[in-house]
Structure 1
Amino acid sequence: MLVGARLTGAWCFRHRRPHCAKAKLTFSSSSESKVLHSIDDEYDGDFLPWLERKAGVEILSVLSIGKSVYGRSLFASEKLRTGDCILKVPYAAQLTPDNLHPKIKSLLDDEISNVAKLAIVILFEQKMGKDSEWAPYISRLPQLEEMHNTALECFPEVFDHIKLKDFMHAYALDFLNHDGLSEAVVLHDEDKQLSEVIADRDYAPKEEVWITYGKFSNSTLLLDFGFSLPYNSHDEVQIQIKVPDHDPLLEVKLEVLQSHCLPRARDVNGFKSSNDSFTIKEVRSARGRGKGLPQSLRAFARVLCCTSPQELCDLATEAAQNDGRLARRPFRNSCQEILAHQILLSHIIQLTKEYSASIELLEPVTSPSICKRLAFRKQMARDLLIGELRILKSASAWLENYCATLA
């Protein structure tokens, strides 16, 4: 999390629990609530005086920077109780996309994310060096070699000699660590013009303090934050399934699907998914209702199994007579309903085989021939694939059970 860097409605987060080794730094500002004091002399000096000038209040200590097996981390300086304010930052001490230089802002459109805009702001401030009013803060950001995030052409007329890797570095910078089990989030008070974090549990002195970045899958954590979790309960899989080119009813099916398709959803990064892409979440019980399998995917499978124009016409008529959604109800003919779900089951089984093969191709991360950085990245890849494979297997189990109950 970038302390002092605020996005619209949210701050920028980049760490996870507990497999990342990036720097962490946080503070609170208010005459009543206590905040950060670094336990490492290299972070003191001009930082706290600068911070107090920025915040306009006295900075006391309750959180400190220390070193753990995962690198520099944020720890409680004293006992903290559930409900204590552990971090409070006035908007005046937060770097935001609004700080973009007018010349740079004119080059960007609304399709550029706030995180990317904030990264550009940081690059600009870094370029200014000691002349930047944010220099004490910028100088304490994690170094490029500490980052694992793996994105934007630079603007040479503004940032001379800045390369893509520099943008990637700025894009991934942060301080606070993520715990998937934590319920502590950043809250914003527009009236008081500040952001704060409230402890969601008790902390003993010298215990690392965590927050949650949100309910993100490993694919999002990897793309946006540069880390993964060994087991992520929020994992999901995006699968793509199409009407086969050899299907004699290809054109008719595509026309029916197009006339009843829902607006394409945007993912957490703002990207639109295609009409033949579906997101599967873990199906918790093979004997349950299949929560996790989107109804739109099962409807697509029902359209796929149709063998005559009349069947497709019947589906369209049924949709028009109800809520307008195509093929959301099971076929009255159980054999046809089974066939539809067997098509889906076959597709998912094929995906599980491909995932399993990909996992096997990854060299064990414990191999002495792998350097530490490569081992870290391979472990992230394994976390991602194993998590998505778990989702696919849960979907397969549910589909097999569903077909068996209809047989």
Structure 2
Amino acid sequence: MRFGSRIAHLHSHLFLPFPLSPPSCPHCKLSHSAAAAAAAASKDCQLKNESNEFLSWLQKKAGVEISSMLSIGNSVYGRSLFASKCIQAGDCILKVPYNVQMTSDKFPSDIEPFLVHDVGNISRLAAVLLAERKLGQNSGWATYINCLPQMDEMHNTIFWSKDELEMIRPSPVYQETFDQKAYIMKEFSALRPALEHFPQTFGDVHLEDFMHAYALVTSRAWATSKGISLIPFADFLNHDGTSDAILLSDEDKKISEVIADQNYDIGEQVMIRYGKFSNATLLLDFGFTLPYNTYDQVQILMDAPFHDSLYQIKSELLQNHCLPRIVDASGFNGSKSSFVIKEVKSASGKGKGIPQALRAYCRVLSATSLEELKALTVEAAEDDGRLARRTLTDRDREIQAHHMLLSLFIPMIRDYDSALKVLESLNNARVGNQLSIRRQMAKDLLKGELRVLQSACAWLTNYCANISASSENAR
């Protein structure tokens, strides 16, 4: 048995197309009029028919029962799965055989010679999806493909306009969106000669078509033994970051299954966890955010200042000690190092959330002489080989090193604050539904990352104050 996981971050930093948190079941709401009751009954009937038809198609294709406990419904967030029977924790709520999963290994081998360069599994599965879509109702996957969201229903940031992206400019997701779009264009350029050579298979495919198919794969597919797979019915399950239920793959039985982690009453929406993803990942790769995401984090880029007389020596020293480097969508290895900070739960705690490697990096940058750098190298060799992981004996230098982080975080906090104030000021402006959704997603993203930065600042400020106080007491 292996864990199945969503495929975020397979190619760079690299679903369901709606914000996901447990809503009340729309089937259970009381109507306030006869007309509303009739409309609700009609919708329930339509959804029940859709659920029966979809499961009937999938079970016929699979040759086995997929689920007797779940039915398709339509929550305020889009197509979802609801308990059609009482579910107990530990129940197996669905089983989808491998033979009814759309996989990247179905990529047509006869188009390989026409590729400009090799492409990734996401692009391969996107091409498979395009080929099946070209067949229309003649495709054996038509029932599934017809359920997939259209491009205007998706909210991955690659579909945001320039003005919409301005809402999240302070966040690293802003630049990552452009990097991801550049990567997708590169993959499409490699595939294009093959797609054009086989119009009978793919039709007339434009960049927008490929981008849509690519986003469907990144937001819905799972990592499996077949590379990556689109798993019908299972991908209607919405994400709850606190859930312990995940997709499991049984290689012996050749099935993917989900075990309930809690009890569900009839009519409740059933949730699973896609992974421990921040709002940045959820927005970029899946097209939704959570109002409060415990996994929020912020990417921090650091580099020694070029005017530093010890720049070259510091850069070589840091590089030799394998600190993480930035690699962009083109594969260029930059001079900056990348770190991820998470929320520091207590300002007086141990600072868990601020990587030791980041603090070490700043200790190296704070050095003002070759002798200090040599001392750090000797200390690392005598210890476990890791550079500048110990508190500096020179307390003023230790404070200076951590002030470097404060001087980086404080302007970032101001930028986040300003961006959020602009979004708050627009709250009452009349906008279309799509912009309203994306504006809320932008707020969720920025608030989460701001919370992380503020917690880091509080810890750093407290840390420096304690060192300063201990120095005064020592005197």
TM-based fold match above 0.5: yes
1:171 to 187, 190, 214: 214
Shift of 1:266: 8.9
Q: Deviations over 1:4-44 (max 9, x none)?
A: xxx99546643542399xxxxxxxxxxxxxxxx98432454
Are 2:268 and 1:207 equivalent residues in the alignment?
Answer: yes
Instruction: State the partner residue of 1:32.
Output: none
Matched to 2:211, the amino acid is: M
Q: Which blocks of at least 5 consecutive residues in structure 1 are unaligned? A: 1-6, 21-36
The one-letter amino acid paired with 2:84 is S
Whether contact under 8 Å (1:365, 1:375) holds in the other structure is no
Distance in 1 separating the partners of 2:412 and 2:443: 16
Residue pair 1:43, 1:140 contacting (<8 A) in 2 also: no
Deviations 1:251-291 (A, max 9, x none): 22222222223355999xx9989652211011111111111
Q: Which residue of 2 aligns with 1:238?
A: 299
Q: Which amino acid is the alignment partner of residue 316 of structure 1?
A: T
1:343 matched to 2:404: yes
Structure 2 letter corresponding to 1:166: D
Paired residue type of 1:71: G
Q: Does 1:18 align with 2:79?
A: no
Contact 2:68 2:93 in 1 (8 A): no
Q: 2:312 aligns with which of 244, 248, 251?
A: 251
2:421 to 356, 360, 369: 360
- Alignment partner of 1:260 is 2:321: yes
2:166 maps to which residue?
Answer: none
Out of 83, 88, 109, which is 2:90 matched to? 83
Larger relative contact order (CA 8 Å, sep ≥ 6): 2
Counterparts of 1:294 and 1:51, CA distance in 2: 47
Does the CA contact (< 8 Å) of 1:38 and 1:64 recur in 2? no
Report what 1:41 is aligned to: 49
Write the distance in 2 (CA, Å) between the matches of 1:247 and 1:347.
Answer: 17
User: In structure 1, how many angstroms separate the alpha carbons of the residues matched to 2:88 and 2:426?
Assistant: 39
Q: How many residues align?
A: 381
Pair 379,273 (structure 1): closer, same or farther in 2 beyond 3 Å: farther
> Closer, same or farther in 2 for the Cα pair 1:105/1:78, shift >3 Å?
farther
Q: Does 1:148 align with 2:191?
A: no
Q: Please state if 1:118 is matched with 2:121.
A: no
Following the alignment from structure 1 to structure 2, what is the Cα–Cα distance between the partners of residues 356 and 148?
Answer: 23
Equivalence for 1:131: 138
What is the one-letter code of the residue matched to 2:48? D
Asked if the contact 2:341/2:355 (under 8 Å) is kept, the reply is yes
Structure 2 Cα separation of the partners of residues 11 and 305 of structure 1: 40
Once the two structures are TM-superposed, the CA of residue 48 in structure 1 deviates from its matched residue by 4.0
Aligned to 2:72, the other structure's residue is in SS state strand
1:303 aligned residue (354, 358, 364): 364
Aligned partners of 1:186, 1:274: CA distance in 2, in Å? 39
Greater shift in the superposed pair: 382-391 or 121-130: 121-130
Cα–Cα, structure 1 residues 361 and 69, in superposed 2: closer, same or farther, change >3 Å? same
Distance 1:58 1:298, change over 3 A: closer
Structure 2 unmatched ranges of 5 or more: 8-14, 24-44, 159-180, 221-235, 469-475
Q: Where does residue 37 of structure 2 map in the other structure?
A: none
Query: 1:176: how far off?
Result: 2.0
Q: Work out whether residues 14 and 172 of structure 1, in 8 Å CA contact, stay in contact via their aligned partners in 2.
A: no
Give the 3 Å change call, closer, same or farther, for CA 96–272 of structure 1 in structure 2: farther
Cα distance between partner residues in 1 of 2:375 and 2:211: 52
Determine helix, strand or coil for the equivalent of 1:403. Answer: helix
Secondary structure at the counterpart of residue 362 of structure 1: helix
CA drift at 1:375:
1.4
Q: 2: distance between equivalents of 1:69 and 1:309?
A: 62
Distance 1:198 1:233, change over 3 A: same
Any idea what the Cα deviations from partners look like across 1:108-158, whole Å, max 9, x if unmatched? Answer: 86762x344323321221112233222222222223332212342442414
62 and 271 in structure 1: CA distance in 2 versus 1, 3 angstrom threshold:
farther
Between structures 1 and 2, the one with greater helix share: 2
Deviation of the 1:71 alpha carbon: 3.0
Match of 1:65 among 72, 77, 80: 72
CA distance 1:300–1:183, shift in 2 (3 Å): same
Distance (Å, rounded) in 2 between the aligned partners of 1:11 and 1:43: 24
* Residues 287 and 314 of structure 1: CA distance in aligned 2, closer, same or farther (over 3 Å): same
Structure 1 position 378, deviation (Å): 1.5
Maintained 8 Å contact 1:238/1:278: yes
**Does structure 2 retain, via aligned residues, the 8 Å contact 1:11–1:186?**
no
Deviation at 1:247, TM superposition (A): 1.5
**1:100 maps to which residue?**
107
In the other structure, the counterpart of 1:162 is 205
Match of 2:62 in 1: 55
Q: Aligned AA for 1:327?
A: A
Matched-pair identity in %: 54
Residues 280 and 391, structure 1, Cα contact 8 Å, conserved in 2? yes
Evaluate the alpha carbon distance shift between residue 190 and residue 274 of structure 1 in structure 2; reply closer, same or farther with a 3 A threshold.
farther
- TM-score, normalised to structure 1's length? 0.85
Q: Distance in 1 between matches of 2:383 and 2:119?
A: 37
Counterpart position of 1:288 = 349
Alignment of 1:188-207 (within 5 A): 188-207=249-268
Contact persistence 1:303–1:312 (CA under 8 A):
yes
Matches within 5 A, 1:180-195: 180-195=241-256
Alpha-carbon contact 2:22-2:240 (below 8 Å) kept: no
Give the 3-state SS of the residue equivalent to 1:237 in structure 2: strand
Amino acid at match of 1:51: L
Give the TM-score taking structure 2 as reference length: 0.73
